[in-house]
Amino acid sequence: MKIITYNVNGIRSAISKGFLEWLAEEDADVVCLQETKAQPDQIPLFHFLELGYTSYWHSAQKKGYSGVAILSKMEPDRIEYGMGNAVYDNEGRVLRADFGDISLMSLYIPSGSSGDGRQDFKMQFLDDFLDYTLELKKEIPHLIICGDYNICHQPIDIHDPVRNAKSSGFLPEEREWLTRFINSGFTDTFRYMNHAPHQYTWWSFRANARANNKGWRIDYNMVADPLAQRIQSARILSDVVHSDHCPVVLEMKN
């Protein structure tokens, strides 16, 4: 089973930059998208059907903002839109598909970089989301949560940990939350397979950051610990450029 998570920073923009051709070549079983920035009537579903994907979209009420999706070559048993909290669900941040004994989620955690108000919103979301996943795991132990977490976990995950120590996305309280999340029973699949530095999934558009690999690793494929033994490979596709993020791949044994 090949799973990809990818913050596309606008699905229509990504399509204009060759996303569909890349998607056909990559031939993943399931693709989780974040920051789709499109309403249902703006999404060219036929493109995905032509490639063999049934697609499920959870858009934000606000146009051109947020939104998550799941593209799947397998028919899910169930689709769950949102996490049962209208404040978050109106922003299109959580979408889940159940496949047999595995449940796979596309997640887009809020950014707090625009100011204190959104940072407070982000911290509340994190607390509520952890509570939500703890309850969900009681029902579905084999949970995979793919997405843009908007948090670098450790200094190895960011190009300049010293200067960014007070930046949203690398704040001590955010990193501590991610540690609690992982300790609640999840495996960071990329770090499970790869301990090398300078492995990033997002780069600012400013100051030629991507060309100089001055990035942040904020996109993850997290699996519930019982699934860790089924991990075959985990890779960051940093040379794929349809967005300011890049795709992250997880391959698992059936």
* Residue 254, pLDDT above cutoff 90: no
| Amino acid identity at 13 | S
CATH of the domain at 6: 3.60.10.10
Three-state DSSP class for residue 4 = strand
Which pTM does this prediction carry? 0.97
The two three-digit tokens of residue 55, written as one number: 């697609």
Query: 177-233: per-residue pLDDT in tens?
Result: 999 999 999 999 999 999 999 999 999 999 999 999 999 999 999 999 999 999 999
- Residues annotated as catalytic are 148
pLDDT score for 13: 97
Contact 134, 128 (CB under 8 A): no
d(CA 186, CA 62): 32
In terms of residue numbers, what domain contains 173? Answer: 2-252
% residues pLDDT > 70 (the chain): 100
The two three-digit tokens of residue 50, written as one number: 């032509």
Q: With residue 123 as reference, give the H or E element that holds it.
A: helix 116-139
pLDDT score for 147: 98
Average pLDDT value over all residues in the chain? 97
Nearest to 200 by CA among 144, 232, 251, 240: 240
Query: 34-50: per-residue pLDDT in tens?
Result: 999 999 899 999 999 99
Tally of domains in the chain: 1
The two three-digit tokens of residue 105, written as one number: 């989620």
